[in-house]
Amino acid sequence: MTFEPVPEEPFWARILKIALAAAMVVLTAVLVIGGASYLGRQVGAALGPEDETDAPVDVEPGQPVEIVIASGSSGQDIGAMLAVQGVVHSALEFEVAVRNVDAAQRLQAGTYALTTLMDPAEVVAILVAGPTPAVYRVTVIEGLRVEEMLVALAEITPHEYSELEDALLGGDVVSSLREMPEQTTLSDWEGLLFPDTYEFAKSAPPESILQRMASKMEQRVNSIDWSDWRALGYTEYEGIVLASLIEAEVRVDDERAVVSSVIHNRLAEGMKLDIDATVYYALGTRDVTRFDRTVDSPYNTYVVVGLPPTPIALPGKASLVAAASPEATEYFFYVLADRDGNHVFAKTFDEHLDNVNRARDVGVPP
């Protein structure tokens, strides 16, 4: 028996058959997957979402939300909480964002101020960075007495005046600038807390607040060259006393070093300082109608020669620098020249009397 040779199938025909077979496979897979997906959606619609937190939330974006994440919370726990509060659309979105940056073990517990409908990746970044401690800002101005400073702190901080006073007097706050007596009073702390602007965590206890101010004063005092002042036989603490007098007397910055020179000159000559601010401090008032230069007090520099026993106010750095580095003058007197706080200076008492009379003529009290 003989066979006719079968003609070889053209190459293009074989390629076409292969392509048709591949297309049938793909079509079959699409139909199977599509059917399963459709069936899944139908079942899901009948049963509802597996987890309500995976369903997109319907809230207004940008509304503030405080989230408290407990220690040990898993990424799923956090995602569920965020979705319920509307911070993210769904817990699933958050979990995906966590996995994308492998942050599951880096999410930090704490209290967070977030907003509704945030980008999940942004939320993850915030939780990885950790909570920012709640802080507040306190500005303590120069020239305050210690009691006035405590009143100001009690108005701004979460602490009562009595708590701050107890912390200052109870030994919880220390300063290297002077040795405190066994029975410490507020006047012993006068001038030892630096006036400045501070930021404190809301959780900061009274002793931490006051210690930071005491340490800042130590730093400021130690940054100044007191060698000329020490050569006169005085201590840095007495320099703070002098600086407090300058702070209490001067309103015009350019006059600080000049007023300092007057005080230096009077100390060198053994003269009484005759500083009104010390009298007001001795009287415990700032009321000019109560001024009494005869008051019996170690702070009354119209009666007692030399510096007061403690500072009379909180000096700022400019006054501290002026105390250590006075201008070189021959002045021994000064008096207010106008209501803007400018002073006029004199070398002799007669010149000073003329200045006082001129000040009275323009309505400036001596």
The pLDDT of residue 134: 75
The pLDDT of residue 33: 41
* CA separation for the pair 183, 45 (Å, rounded): 78
pLDDT at 220 over 90: yes
pLDDT at 229 over 70: yes
Please indicate whether residue 212 or residue 5 has the higher confidence score (pLDDT): 212
Other CB atoms within 10 A of residue 238 CB: 22
Residue 155 contacts residue 138 (beta carbons within 8 Å): no
Global pTM exceeds 0.75: no
Mean pLDDT, the chain, as a whole number? 86
Percent of the chain whose pLDDT exceeds 70: 84
Which residue ranges make up each domain of the chain?
54-129, 135-221, 225-329
The pLDDT of residue 91: 94
pLDDT at 190 over 70: yes
| CATH number of 54-129, picked from 3.20.20.10, 3.40.50.2300, 3.30.1490.480, 3.30.230.70 | 3.30.1490.480
State pLDDT tens for residues 319-356.
Answer: 999 999 999 999 999 999 888 889 999 999 999 999 99
Q: Mean pLDDT over residues 206-213, rounded?
A: 96
State pLDDT tens for residues 126-162.
Answer: 999 998 777 888 999 999 999 999 999 999 999 999 9
Give residue 25's pLDDT band: very low, low, confident or very high (50, 70, 90).
very low
The pLDDT of residue 364: 78
The pLDDT of residue 278: 97
Q: Mean pLDDT over residues 293-305, rounded?
A: 96
The pLDDT of residue 203: 85
The pLDDT of residue 9: 53
State pLDDT tens for residues 258-267.
Answer: 999 999 999 9
pLDDT at 86 over 70: yes
pLDDT at 17 over 80: no
The pLDDT of residue 197: 94
State pLDDT tens for residues 93-138.
Answer: 999 999 999 999 999 999 898 999 999 999 999 999 998 777 888 9
The pLDDT of residue 135: 81
The pLDDT of residue 20: 53
pLDDT at 36 over 50: no
